[in-house]
Chains A and B, each alone.
Chain A
Amino acid sequence: GAVVSQHPSRVICKSGTSVKIECRSLDFQATTMFWYRQFPKQSLMLMATSNEGSKATYEQGVEKDKFLINHASLTLSTLTVTSAHPEDSSFYICSAREGKGGDYRHQPQHFGDGTRLSIL
């Protein structure tokens, strides 16, 4: 159980292109989804948290106009990197957390397989 699907797994595109990455929870309803970024040889860093039906909460230093997040349903969140530039090249990974009962904060996050974004 607890499968999260992320698509695409790899994107190579030209500078100035906007890129959309999808994150789906396949067998559970994800009240909250998270978007992370990982730089080489560093740990995952949270970019933003999205709750279904409301605006995303961005971490300090993350440009919300550059990284558009939509969480339209309990099973789907999208991250759009707008007008991407070479410095946006990175590994992006989403996770999802169930919000059912008990202390939802102590539910584990389940991760997708990530998207390797390369901007030429």
Chain B
Amino acid sequence: DQQVKQNSPSLSVQEGRISILNCDYTNSMFDYFLWYKKYPAEGPTFLISISSIKDKNEDGRFTVFLNKSAKHLSLHIVPSQPGDSAVYFCAASAGQTGANNLFFGTGTRLTVIP
């Protein structure tokens, strides 16, 4: 049972425009959400996170939005750069009882076109 879902396997965006990557989850106990970026032949690299007490967290060009009522989060990258081309995974964990278990989505491949 996939508790974290990324329904778009791929996304192409022009350089300079905004990239929006989406993620949905089913477990209402999740209280911590992360985005990871992965290049080929490398492990995932932590990008940005958000706690469920917030609805937005921003770090430079990257902003994560959390809509708890919709069980939805998104990652906005603006402006997009060719170096952002990678696979992006969202992940979630459930605080007290499940803090160790990160549930991952299946990833979205972002291609930024120069």
Contact = CB atoms under 8 A, between A and B. Distances in A.
Contacts of A4: 43
A110 B43 CA distance: 9
B95 interface: yes
A34 B2 contact: no
Interface in B40-78: 41-46, 49, 51
Nearest to B36: A111
A75 interface: no
Give the interface residue-count category, chain A.
20 to 34
Interface in B87-102: 89, 93, 95-96, 99-102
B104 interface: yes
A49 B93 CA distance: 14
B43 A43 contact: no
Contact of B43 (A6, A49, A57, A106): A6
Interface of A: 2, 4, 6, 9, 32, 34, 41-44, 46, 49, 57, 59, 93, 95, 105-106, 108-114
